[in-house]
Amino acid sequence: MTRPWPSTVAEAEAVQEQLRPLVDLADSGPEHVRLVAGLDVGYAVKGDEVTGAVVVLDADTLRVVDRAVVRERVRFPYVPGLFAFRELPPLLAALDRLPVTPDLLICDGYGLAHPRRFGLACHLGVLTGLPTVGVAKTAFVGSHDAPGRERGAWSPIRIDGDVVGRALRTREGVKPVYVSQGHRVGLDTACAHVLRLTPAYRLPEPIRQADRLSHS
């Protein structure tokens, strides 16, 4: 289900242009979110192998209810802007091994805030049909002012005047995270979920759990 995969930058960019129209940015978000999944990819031991990890949490209690890990050979080099072609294969494989279907996916990376407005979160959303949100740890594209120092403060990330995401402070005095829409979830809803899923650390609990799993 991940068969024909681009092997060149030109092919990969063409795929993004082709799939971009399929992204749903109008839907404000799922009515009920009971199961939230965090996804991340780890690069360890052998440099040509990647580990895709997915951890499903109960959205209310934040307890882990399911998880899946897949180790496989890397399919695409790291190229800023084409990140998804490197991380999507192991993530889709891990999702396939889950016995449940999450109501929302939290991706480690960008969604709309992308050179061609089609980052990992958008791509994963289109391929799975599931609601997705992108949460990145460092700035990539666009510009933004520093959000207030308190938890919950945010400032818009803009590219040529268009708002493509938000720099959101999840902990007082700590560097903000960068939230952008993936698929079928509005920006307000996305940020609300991210804050609700981040009770103690800088990163949302689903992402932290997936990060841990991708390293074991």
Among 38, 88, 103, 110, binds DNA (CB under 7 A): 110
Residue 5 or 78 having the CB closest to DNA: 78
Establish if 133 lies at the interface with DNA (CB under 7 A).
no
- Token digits for 207? 């992402």
Other beta carbons less than 10 A from residue 216's beta carbon: 9
- Token digits for 84? 């998804």
Burial group, residue 66, by CB count within 10 angstroms (0-12, 13-18, 19+): middle
- Stretch 31-90 residues interacting with DNA (CB under 7 A): 40-44, 78, 80-84
Distance between first and last Cα of the chain: 26
Cβ of residue 60: shortest distance to DNA, in angstroms? 27
- Token digits for 193? 């979920």
Cβ of residue 200: shortest distance to DNA, in angstroms? 12
Establish if 114 lies at the interface with DNA (CB under 7 A).
yes
Q: How many residues bind DNA (CB under 7 A)?
A: 24
Among 131, 134, 142, 165, binds DNA (CB under 7 A): 134
